[in-house]
Chain A
Amino acid sequence: EVQLVESGGGLVQPGGSLRLSCVGSGCTFSGYWMHWVRQAPGKGLVWVSRIDSVGGTRSYADSVKGRFTISRDNAKDTVFLLMSSLRADDTAVYYCACEAPTGLFWGQGIHVTVSS
């Protein structure tokens, strides 16, 4: 069974930074690509970023490129999302997800609120 637990969310002021963490199990963590997907309040799912199994290939949505950085520490079964220059429209539930061949398996999500 896949278990992914996100942490590090909360309230941050516009222009601030936050680092999300996701600890995983059941995905054979080090063998899988990992993703972050977000969902603004009352809205749909938006893909944010992904990283390959060893951290060599990273992709970002245009809306976060240059502001967000994805990374991973396979020794700790953890993937990170460093979010900088945060804006109000970054407010969302952020989900960590494991990329299996068939699709994504998701964590419970963590709330991020950007507000003054």
Chain B
Amino acid sequence: DIVMTQSPDSLAVSLGERATINCKSSRNVLYSSNNKNYLAWYQQKPGQPPQLVLSWASIRESGVPDRFSGSGSGTDFTLTISSLQAEDVAVYYCQQHYTTPWTFGQGTKVEIK
């Protein structure tokens, strides 16, 4: 199975400051035939289901604010919130859909400092 490892497990950031979450895959999730990274990022607020934030490692879903961005390729990925807002408090998960079993990172809890 592909193991997804996120860092840090939690972080506290002041309002308006940058938050950065890392995700490392134990195997490459870049599909060479279409040059796409099969890596998604989800946001889960308390008591709610996860919501897709970024697909293909860096493409924002419709309605997601442009302060959210993603980067990386192959095995190393980053989710950045450029200017943290109160509504961004949540747990963030990376997930690979390159192969089954699909696997998630352990989650990173983002809080306000």
Contact = CB atoms under 8 A, between A and B. Distances in A.
B50 interface: yes
The number of chain A residues touching the other chain, given as a range, is 10 to 19
A35 B40 CA distance: 15
Given A47-B103, A47-B104, A102-B55, A95 B40 contact: no
Contact of B100 (A59, A95, A105): A59
A61 B104 contact: no
Contacts, number: 54
Secondary structure type dominating chain A contacts: strand
Contacts of A72: none
Interface string A88-116: 00000001000100111111110000000
Contact of B49 (A61, A102, A107): A107
Contacts of B40: 102-104
Interface of B: 40, 42, 44, 49-52, 55-56, 59, 61, 91, 93, 95, 97, 100-107
Interface of A: 35, 44-47, 50, 59, 61-62, 95, 99, 102-109
